[in-house]
Amino acid sequence: MEQNRKKKIERNIRNIVSDFITWELPDEDNIFGIINISDIVLSPDGSYVDIKVSSFVKQDILCKTLAKSAYIIQKHIGKKIGLRMSPKVRFRYDNSGEIGAEVNEVITEIDKEIINLENKNKD
């Protein structure tokens, strides 16, 4: 699949999934507050799409809950984009935000230690 076409399809899928989560996700499943779609990865042959999501609340059941609506999302993608074959939707949890927060904490601790060492050397 041509790279420009693939990126365009991924962008359209992001919009469709975002609209679905915002407006059409059943109320009993919408217990996560803000859901972040961090990345959309369409397979080279277009047979499946990995949607990387994260949330601050109930991360352990986020992908399972969204997976219940995967077929409906797949149908929306097929209708709105007009692909001959709609890609199978797979949700993956993205923990890069958590990793970034941990790295930030480590950097902050190192900065504090450096400041403490500099203050000790001044005395």
Mean pLDDT of residues grouped by 10 in the chain (123 residues)? 88 92 75 86 93 84 88 91 89 78 78 79 69
- Supply the pLDDT for residue 17: 92
**24-29 LR contacts (CB < 8 Å, sep 24+):** 24/72, 25/66, 25/69, 26/69, 29/65, 29/66, 29/68, 29/69
Check residue 15 and give its pLDDT: 93
- Inside any domain, residue 81: yes
Q: What is the pLDDT of residue 42?
A: 94
In a domain, 82, yes or no: yes
Report yes or no on 66 lying in a domain: yes
- In whole angstroms, give the CA distance from residue 25 to residue 61: 15
* Structural domain of 90: 3-94
Q: How many domains does the chain have?
A: 1
Residue 120: inside a domain:
no
CATH number for position 54: 3.30.300.20
pLDDT at 115: 80
